[in-house]
Structure 1
Amino acid sequence: MDEHAPTGLANQSLLNKIDKLRELNVKSLELPQLVVVGDQSSGKSSVLESLTGFSFPQDPGLCTRYATQISCRREPRQNGFVSIIPRAGADAATVDRLRSFKRPIPYPTNEILTRIMTEANQAMGIRMSKNDTDLSLQAFSEHILKIEINGPHQEHFTVIDVPGIFRVPSPPLTTDSDVFLVRNLVESYMQNSRTIILAVLPSTIDISTQEVLKMAENADPDGIRTMGVLTKADLAIEQATQDVVKELVLGKRNQVRLGYCVVRNRSADDEKSTISDRLAQEKAFFMESAWKSLEGSGRCGIESLKSRLSDLLLTISKKEFPNVKSDVAKNLDQCRNELENIGPSRKEQNAQRMYLGRLGSKFQSITQCALNGYYNSEAIFVKDTSLKLITGITRMNESFANDVWKKGHKRHISPSWNSEGEVAYDIADSDECKSPFKEIHDNHPELHDIVEMEDYECSEPKAFSNDPITEHIERVYQENRGPELGTFSGVILAVTFKEQSQKWEPLVLAHVSKSIMLVHDYIYRLLANVCPDKQVRDQLWGFLVDELRAAYTRAMEQARFLLRIERNGTPSTFNHYFNSEVQKKRQDRMSATLEKEAGTYYTVDRHTTTKAVPLTSIGNLVINIENMQQMREDILDVLSSYYKVSRKRFVDVICRQVIGHFLLEGEESPLRVFSPELVMGLEAEQLEMIAGEDAETKHRRAMLEAEIKNLETAMKLLRG
């Protein structure tokens, strides 16, 4: 016996820790446990009495109206206590009142025990008789009654009894809602993945019809943590009924994974026999010939059942103990984070201002990372990749530049228009890179009168063969020519350039609108992350929307201003690239013409040939060109050169000023609206409206503080 003592002590220490954790009643923590479930007349109370040695009072008003935790421990002295574990989430006053309830259990005075149980029911607010008219009383409670039984002959054993399932209420004591309340309470215990479900079923009924087993199957589909207990074996007098019970016990019928045990209950008239007397009577009963075939199965009688349950409890406790530690640490972190997000109590203005100021600082800190692409600095960018703001904006700017270059002109300038030596931006075209602009637009009606609602699809430029730009230039020249000789008026260039760039306006307004929607959605999403309190977030958002709208309006106005300057003003540039481009085009045209007149001639050494143009041919080219042709060519060279210079300049200005300054980095950028500076300027009424606490927030903070306190206590227990 002594050689097993260390193991026994270690096991007892482990089970003691779990019992102490259960006393904390941490709602989010699942603990290894045995839970007894069954109908009200299943023989559940008799099984519990035999397992624990605790005799419940027989008063009908004291039947189980709450979960009861019965803990047996081996102690030198025999004693016991009745106490109450408050339900998770109870207010501080209720917790203190119920925690103070502790009564010693007298032995063996049943009258005093009845009085103690009555006091416990009263403390929990239980209606015990039809004469109780107090509307604050209830038939069932979520509090837990704890019964401790200590003695030199006890083995460490803890079991939880839940109210018996019933289907027909007994008004006014119980109602239809109580039927569902009890069912939900029982199911909540059964759903715990670390619970061994002890389903108590009378031997005299057809178990295939039992609702308890169906509930167990729903909670434990694989049947790996469900054991059946067949009670009232002495009442199964028919041979067919006995055969069914024996087949279940021996595993010959469809069964739960942990199998079935069978017991004989104390009769209803037996009020004087001791536990020892009952065990002896049960042992003799199963020695009778009708049950002889079960001998050696290890599944007959209370002693076998208790031994099997003790092993199961210890096994699951050892297996799940490391996971319990992990869960406590995880839940503690989650509660602390949530409490941090809620922030401290915000009754005073200073607390409200400090709370909003911290949110504003966090918002600006994350936004700076989003603008600089420092995505590894904040975990939020992994959680929500749509917050990678500068990546989305850069991709849109590149797409905008490509569209203006490839499709922004109305007509191609030559029969074989090409890239003119430029290379397009290589933009990934995956679902991850696409922002749901229509969804953003639909979700934010505050943008509808600011942004362009229709997504502009830029058409391909007109082919040279279908609508030659030279013919258009000649028409414009003929309609707008002045007295100039050998040159053309600036009006000609202004008119042709404005028409050639007519798609710029819808392209720009669509691009700026999408950028606004991307920024707006970023602000909305980030605010939801840094401010989880929905009431505060909604009030804050309502306060910020007007400022955001003003910022977006400024961006759209700047875009339209730049469009007017670039397209409606007098064409002008001081970029040396313009003259270089004009000369290059003239040179290319001359080279192409001379190429047609060139012939092949021998060089002086007569061994090689070269291509050359006779001087007479060059003279004819210059002399014979028509005035209108020369004018068309000159206007086209200037127009195409100026368009190219203007396009490059315009794309940069839109991206730098409208997007970069007005939407992202400028002093009046919408990204700067929510900041500590704004919070410092709020008046008292505004602070209260935005950051003032409602009753729900106060209640949630109190619950989190209590949960954290319990989890911290649990962590100390686990580390001890």
Structure 2
Amino acid sequence: MSSNSTENPALSQLQSKQKDLLDDIDTLRNQGIGHYIELPQLIVCGDQSSGKSSVLEAISRVRFPSEAGVCTRFATEVVLRRAPTSGISVSIKPGDSRTQSEHPQLSEFRHSCSDASELPLIINKAKDAMGISADNTNGRSFTDDILCVDISGPDKPHLTLVDLPGLIRHSDRPSDIALVKRLVESYMANKRSVILAIVSANYDTAIQEVLTLLKKHDPEGLRTLGIVTKPDRLEPDSDDEMERLRLIRNERISLRLGWHVVRNRNDATRNATDAERDDAEMSFLTSRVWAAIDRGHKGIESLRSRLSEILTQQISSNMPKLVSEIKQQLFDCKERLNKLGEPRKSPKEQRRYLLNTSSKFQDILRNVNEGRYLDNEFSSEISSQHWSSKRLRAAVDKLNQEFADTMHQKGHRRQVLSDTLKDSAISHPWRNDGFEDATISRIDLASELDEEAIKMKPRGLPDFPNALLVSYLFKDQAKPWDSLSRSHLKESFNTTRRVVRSLLAHVANEDVSNRISREIFDPWLLERQRAMEEMLKLLLKPHLRGDTITFDPSYRTTTKVRREAAVVDGIGTALGVDSARPLESLGPKYSWLDIEAAQKRNMNTGKSLTSLDLIADAEVYYEIAMHSFIDNVCIFVIEHCLLDELVKLFNHEMVSDMEDAALEHFAAESPAVQMDREQLHRKMTTLEKGLMTCSQYEDISIPGS
């Protein structure tokens, strides 16, 4: 006896460490942290009548009720702990489907006993408390409540596992089949659950649903231990027996944790003692083909040790991630509570909340309008596809640049094509090759102006240039400005509206944000939109009328160059030479008489130098007017009428002037918000307790883990 107490101090220390670790995980589970964080656990799954209850009994050394499968109508959490004295306590954790009024009665269910024979009676009482119907006719046949059974004693291993209802193939109540499957899958889906898949040896593996579900939830077999039961039901030396042997050797269905085989009591040995059961099991598993199986993969004794080691390893390997997830969820809770603000029932509390919210909103809005993205909400979104929903200055500047590019490319109604190489060497604002606009040649446009000149002939000398033709041509070419600028206004307005709504949602809870957006932001923004439209109408008015007024000094110099180029181009064409070549390269071939004759021929061909001059003048004016118009739209419509006015949107003065009724309307907490706050506080309390429990294991090192 004395040798047992001192045989291995290191082993004793390890067992103590394992016990503390498992106890603390159970504490977390009892605190309810499993509602928010997936906890490591062993779950016992299998088809109905696969031998799950017998395995549980063999591991715990405690008999569970067997009549009508009562204990498998709900999840049973079995906590086994080594202790000097034996004892059993039973409690109930209400499921998520329970109403608030049902929680107290179930949570208060507590029963204890020192004699294991009393357990079936206590479980039946728990079944009655949960409303489980024994005959499946009244009440529930299954429930998501959890029965908690704590078993301690000197022969118990340090182990916690969850026994789940057996998967059903046939039932008088078809809804039960889906309900049980849904319950089992909810546990299997937990990536930190180690699945103990109970497989009956006397049934073909192909028809056992637990293996089908494994393919879905653990397809690579990384967190499953297969347990084969009822090997004594197989005919000796049969094909089925050899097939199950290959299964246990991990040759048929490969699992990282491998397989284990046990032989439990049958109907004939139902009343056998635990010692008799173990002797019969070992006698069987050391005979026939089972003798070839490694001792660590057969028998209930080695299974207990194996399960305890697996669970400890699973917990220790997941503990760092567990701590990290708890910290992240705590951070998220605090962020949500900060957004909800302090409770606000009185007008004073409501005004304080709105003033604080508007201050945060205006601070961030001012920064994003000036292009300073300092808030964490925005600094992490530089490469995000949705950056334009938060970065106002960058988004609007991008739209302004796109507007300018579009005006250069598509602002003119028609492309005026070059007639000669000389002309093509000059940059014309109305020639954007590659765009599918309507086109006209420069000569044809000159002829068109000649015809228009006849219709618009004013009083005065014949063939005198009509300056109104420049206005006519400009107005005709500038027709797309209206639709292009209105489209830019719309995009800039929508982008700004999207950003301000997003910023408000960042600093206020959803309920308040929605009301303010709908009743304050939208009407105010609608006024801004009207102001933008009025300003744009003023900017468009002279251009739509075709007024040609400019005092830009570049107009005179540029038109002079263009006219001279047009004259030279016309003479060169009449001479039949490339006017793009330098004059000295033409040699002494042409005299002044030749040039004079060429000039006359050029005029006799119908090419009006006056009309070509007017086209050149209109192009120069168009380019100057377009640049001015682009700047004016961006500055006066977008900046002045919209962005500069944002300082007035939901600012300190607006909130200060609100009547008490308005404060209550916008800032009073709805019942849903009050409930959300309470739930967040409860969650934070649970997570903080969990963090204190887990932090001591953050750098845990368990041998073999």
Question: 1:18 is matched with which residue?
Answer: 25
Amino acid at match of 2:482: E
- CA gap of 1:319–1:379, structure 2 versus 1, over 3 A, is same
Deviations along 1:266-293, whole A, 9 cap, x unmatched? Answer: 2346565432332233223334x43563
Q: Is the 8 A contact 1:66 1:163 kept in 2?
A: yes
Whether the aligned pair in 1 keeps the contact of 2:197 and 2:225 (CA below 8 Å) is yes
Contact 1:194/1:316, CA 8 A, preserved across alignment: yes
* SS of match in other structure, 1:498: helix
Structure 1 counterpart of 2:640: 661
Counterpart check, 1:277 vs 2:276: yes
Structure 2 partner of 1:443: none
Query: CA separation in 2, counterparts of 1:253 and 1:493?
Result: 90
- CA offsets 1:78-117 (integer angstroms, 9 cap, x no match): 3332223344697776656544443322224x34x34433
Report if the CA contact (8 A) 1:566-1:650 is conserved. Answer: no
AA paired with 2:132?
R
Amino acid paired to 1:318: S
One-letter amino acid of the counterpart of residue 129, structure 1: A
1:468 Cα deviation from its structure 2 partner = 3.1
Give the 3-state SS of the residue equivalent to 2:72 in structure 1.
coil
User: Superposed, which structure 2 residues align to 1:155-304 within 5 Å?
Assistant: 155-170=157-172, 175-237=173-235, 239-240=237-238, 241-268=240-267, 272-287=271-286, 289-290=287-288, 293-294=291-292, 296-304=294-302
Of residues 668, 678, 681 in structure 2, which corresponds to 1:705? 681
Q: What pairs with 1:544-583 in structure 2 (closer than 5 Å)?
A: 544-568=521-545, 570-582=547-559
Matched to 1:392, the amino acid is A
641-650 vs 355-364, which moves further:
355-364
Name the counterpart of 1:144.
Answer: 146
Counterpart in 2 of 1:332?
Answer: 330
In 2, distance between residues paired with 1:414 and 1:246?
Answer: 89
More displaced 10-residue stretch of structure 1: 97-106 or 654-663: 97-106
Letter aligned with residue 120 of structure 1: A
**CA deviation string 1:353-389 (max 9, x = no partner):** 6656555555444443433333454433344223233
1:5 to 9, 12, 18: 12
Pairwise CA distance, 1:564: 0.9
Q: What do the CA deviations read for 1:207-243 (whole angstroms, capped 9, x no partner)? A: 2211111112221101122222222333335542444
Corresponding position of 1:605: none
Contact 1:85–1:98 at 8 Å: present in 2 too?
A: yes
Asked if 1 retains the 8 angstrom alpha-carbon contact of 2:90 and 2:149, the reply is yes
Q: Is the 8 A contact 1:413 1:469 kept in 2?
A: no
Q: How far did residue 711 of structure 1 move?
A: 1.4
In the TM superposition, 1:489-508 aligns within 5 A as: 491=468, 493-508=470-485
Does residue 1:34 correspond to 2:42, yes or no? yes
Specify the SS of the correspondent of 2:303.
helix
Aligned counterpart, 2:5: none
Aligned to 1:50: 58
Structure 2 counterparts to residues 381-396 of structure 1, below 5 A:
381-382=381-382, 383=384, 384-387=386-389, 388-396=391-399
Cα distance in 1 between the residues matched to 2:321 and 2:340: 28
The residue type equivalent to 1:127 in the other structure is I
Distance 1:61 1:623 in 2: 115
Of residues 224-233 and 516-525 in structure 1, the stretch that sits farther from structure 2 once superposed is 516-525
Query: Aligned partner of 1:513: which letter?
Result: K
**Counterpart residue identity of residue 145, structure 1:** L
SS in structure 1 of the partner of residue 297 of structure 2 = coil
Q: Could you tell me whether the CA contact under 8 Å between 1:248 and 1:254 is conserved in 2?
A: yes
User: Aligned to 2:407, which of 386, 404, 407?
Assistant: 404
3-state SS of 1:284 partner: helix
Measure, in 2, the Cα distance between the counterparts of 1:622 and 1:423. 28
1:21 maps to a residue whose letter is L
Q: Which amino acid aligns with 2:208?
A: Q
**1:602 aligned partner:** none
Counterpart of 1:102? 110
- Secondary structure at 2:227 match in 1: strand
Closer, same or farther: CA 501–225 of 1 in aligned 2, 3 Å = closer
Q: 1:508/1:248 Cα in 2 relative to 1: closer, same or farther (>3 Å)?
A: closer
Report the Cα distance in structure 2 between the residues aligned to 1:413 and 1:207, rounded to whole angstroms.
80
Q: Distance in 2 between matches of 1:682 and 1:514?
A: 32
Matches within 5 A, 1:443-482: 459=437, 462-465=440-443, 467-469=444-446, 472=449, 475-476=452-453, 479-482=456-459
Find the aligned partners of 2:398 and 2:392 in 1 and give their Cα distance: 10
CA apart distance, 1:717: 0.2
- Letter matched to residue 248 of structure 2: V
Q: Is the 8 A contact 2:47 2:166 kept in 1?
A: yes
**Contact (CA 8 Å) 1:74, 1:154: kept in 2 or not?**
yes
Partner residue, 1:647: 626
Structure 2 matches for 1:298-317, cutoff 5 A? 298-317=296-315
Gaps of 5+ in 1: 425-456, 598-609
Partners in 2 of 1:115 and 1:682 — Cα distance?
66
**Which residue, out of 80, 85, 98, partners 2:93?**
85
CA–CA distance in structure 1, aligned partners of residues 102 and 687 of structure 2? 19
Query: Contact (CA 8 Å) 2:202, 2:230: kept in 1 or not?
Result: yes
Task: Tell which deviates more after alignment, 364-373 or 220-229.
Answer: 364-373
- Letter matched to residue 261 of structure 1: H
- Name the CA distance, whole Å, in 2 between partners of 1:350 and 1:239: 85
TM-score normalised by the chain length of structure 1: 0.78
CA distance in 1, matches of 2:307, 2:283: 22
Confirm or deny: 8 A CA contact 1:230 1:262 kept in the other structure.
Answer: yes
Q: Aligned in 2, Cα 1:64/1:695: closer, same or farther, shift over 3 Å?
A: farther
Give 1:650 shift. Answer: 1.7
Give the corresponding residue for 1:319.
Answer: 317
Q: How many angstroms does 1:142 deviate by?
A: 2.3
Alpha-carbon contact 1:36-1:162 (below 8 Å) kept: yes
8 Å contact kept, 2:453–2:466: no
Counterpart residue type for residue 498 of structure 1: K
Q: Which moved more, 1:295-304 or 1:484-493?
A: 484-493
Partner of 2:368: 370
CA distance in 2, matches of 1:620, 1:238: 122
2:571–2:599 Cα contact (<8 Å) kept: no
Query: Gaps spanning 5+ residues in structure 2: where?
Result: 1-7, 575-586, 697-705
Higher deviation after alignment, 91-100 or 702-711: 91-100
Q: 2:126 aligns with which of 120, 124, 138?
A: 120
Specify the code of the residue in structure 1 equivalent to 2:152: N
User: Is the alpha carbon distance of 1:590 and 1:18 closer, same or farther for their aligned partners in structure 2, counting shifts above 3 Å?
Assistant: same
State the alpha-carbon separation in 1 of the partners of residues 366 and 110 from structure 2: 58
Counterpart residue identity of residue 280, structure 1 = D
* Deviation sequence 1:599-628 (CA, Å, 0-9, x none): xxxxxxxxxxx99x99999999999999x9
C-alpha displacement of 1:464? 0.5
Distance in 1 between the 2:278 and 2:609 partners? 122
